[in-house]
Amino acid sequence: RRAAEGKARALQSDDEVAEAELGEVRVALERARLRQRWEQLRDLVGARGDMSDEARAAFDKAAADQAMEGKEAESYQRALDVAEVQIREARVAVMALEEQIAAQERRQSRIAADDAELTTALRAKIARKQRRLDEA
């Protein structure tokens, strides 16, 4: 039972860690989306042809960075999906362990009841034998 409770606590701890990581991934995903949106707005403000060579090079680099951030956002989304699956699996495992603990507690309760019943019967038998010895 203690081992099962330890496993349940460990899985719950893993679940909490996964939730925290999921939050971090969501924040990073939102940042990537905001950066991408900022790049798109900047594209609308100035036309590439109206820029100096230096500004155009900076713009091209920013566009390349934007493409990388789009890939990064997709990667974050995949990580988010995986984390959500892991959280669901951890919750199922915790529920299974909780059921095992409950079953173990039911077995222990039955054993204790049987023990009490046997102890009472044994005491009664000893008392009968003692009365016979006292009578003899």
Name the nearest CA neighbour of 90 among 7, 3, 5.
Answer: 7
Q: Each residue's pLDDT tens digit in the chain (136 positions)?
A: 777 777 777 777 777 777 777 778 778 887 787 777 777 666 655 555 555 667 667 766 776 777 677 677 677 677 767 777 777 777 777 788 788 888 888 988 898 898 889 899 999 999 999 998 888 7
Which residue, among 66, 68, 60, has the nearest Cα to 35 in the 3D structure?
A: 66
Q: Where are the domains of the chain?
A: 2-97
The model's pTM: 0.42
